């Protein structure tokens, strides 16, 4: 709890400042809602907002899980030879550069309205950092340790699973941290088009000029991103505590 305290200070400052600026009339309430109005909306519309949050969570988590599994698998595959890397890596970069807003309408046509489109969108935007970080991690194995494995006659698969993959874990986890936030964004973009969850709430609230509700939904989306981030940090702590400096403070 004491560790979380510093994070609350900027939050409180921003909330108090915004509230005062809006109340003083420096910022127009129809452009930026006062935090008190956002809070009121959170309470008044909680059933709708939290129901939407649950849907968005499912979509984002499913997309993230697919990215984690698929991204690590592809990263490992690409690390197997430089020929494979040259042949396939450029296509992996496609996922990083694809403008999700532009292809989201196509996702609806391919996957239909609803959850599948949302998951696909979350997956597409979040897989690349996992691939890239897994690959870099595996390729940066300590050469001295690799020589040691060769000296003892370890098979390539033993070298991969006993040395290179574990040594790549810190970077893979970094990839997952980035992917977590992106999956939430991807899910909400998918929901704009696919029609459910927080994305749909934002879309409708925007049409109705309910900036307070837009902010309430965005706040919940960022809480979801934060929760995902916290979960990966926990995972990282468990996996790396015994041997990696980043988790030994």
Residues that bind another protein (CB under 8 A): 28-31, 105, 108-109, 113, 192-195, 200, 203-209
Whole-number minimum distance, CB 150 to another protein, in Å? Answer: 50
Name, in order, each residue with C-beta under 8 angstroms of 47's C-beta and a sequence gap of 6 or more: none
Whole-number minimum distance, CB 122 to another protein, in Å? Answer: 17
Alpha helices in the chain (DSSP H): 5-23, 35-44, 46-79, 82-97, 100-111, 115-139, 143-151, 156-158, 165-194, 197-207, 211-240
Backbone angles phi, psi at 118, to 5 degrees: -65, -45
Whole-number minimum distance, CB 217 to another protein, in Å? Answer: 13
Closer residue to another protein (CB): 56 or 67: 56
Q: How many angstroms separate the CA atoms of 24 and 46, rounded?
A: 28
Closer residue to another protein (CB): 160 or 205: 205
Closer residue to another protein (CB): 85 or 206: 206
Closer residue to another protein (CB): 116 or 206: 206
Closer residue to another protein (CB): 133 or 200: 200
Q: How many angstroms separate the CA atoms of 75 and 65, rounded?
A: 15
Q: How many angstroms separate the CA atoms of 62 and 127, rounded?
A: 12
Closer residue to another protein (CB): 122 or 168: 122
Whole-number minimum distance, CB 199 to another protein, in Å? Answer: 9
Whole-number minimum distance, CB 228 to another protein, in Å? Answer: 25
Whole-number minimum distance, CB 195 to another protein, in Å? Answer: 4
Whole-number minimum distance, CB 121 to another protein, in Å? Answer: 13
Nearest to 188 by CA among 199, 178, 196, 179: 199
Give one word for 155, left, alpha or beta, with left for phi > 0 and alpha for psi -120 to 50.
beta
Task: Report whether 207 contacts 185 (CB < 8 A).
Answer: no
Q: How many angstroms separate the CA atoms of 16 and 22, rounded?
A: 10
Closer residue to another protein (CB): 4 or 31: 31
Name, in order, each residue with C-beta under 8 angstroms of 164's C-beta and a sequence gap of 6 or more: 79, 138, 141, 146
């Amino acid at each position: 709890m004491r560790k979380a305290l510093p994070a609350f200070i900027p939050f409180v400052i921003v909330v108090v400042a915004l509230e005062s600026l809006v109340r003083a009339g420096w910022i127009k309430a129809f452009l930026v809602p006062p935090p008190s109005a956002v809070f009121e909306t959170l309470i008044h519309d909680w059933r709708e907002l939290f129901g939407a949050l649950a849907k968005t969570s499912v979509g984002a988590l499913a997309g993230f899980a697919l990215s984690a599994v698929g991204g690590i698998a592809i990263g490992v595959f690409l690390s197997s030879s430089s020929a494979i890397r040259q042949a396939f890596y450029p296509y992996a970069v496609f996922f990083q550069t694809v403008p999700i807003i532009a292809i989201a309408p196509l996702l609806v046509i391919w996957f239909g309205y609803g959850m599948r489109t949302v998951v696909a969108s979350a997956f597409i935007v979040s897989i690349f950092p996992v691939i890239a970080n897994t690959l870099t991690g595996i390729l940066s194995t300590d050469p001295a340790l690799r020589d040691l494995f060769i000296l003892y006659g370890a098979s390539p698969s033993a070298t991969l699973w006993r040395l290179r993959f574990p040594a790549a874990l810190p970077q893979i986890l970094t990839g997952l941290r980035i992917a977590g936030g992106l999956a939430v964004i991807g899910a909400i973009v998918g929901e704009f088009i696919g029609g459910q969850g927080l994305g749909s709430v934002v879309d409708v609230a925007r049409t109705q000029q309910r900036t307070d509700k837009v902010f309430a939904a965005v706040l919940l989306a960022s809480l979801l991103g934060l929760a995902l981030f916290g979960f990966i940090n926990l995972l990282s702590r468990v996996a790396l505590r015994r041997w990696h400096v980043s988790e030994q403070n």
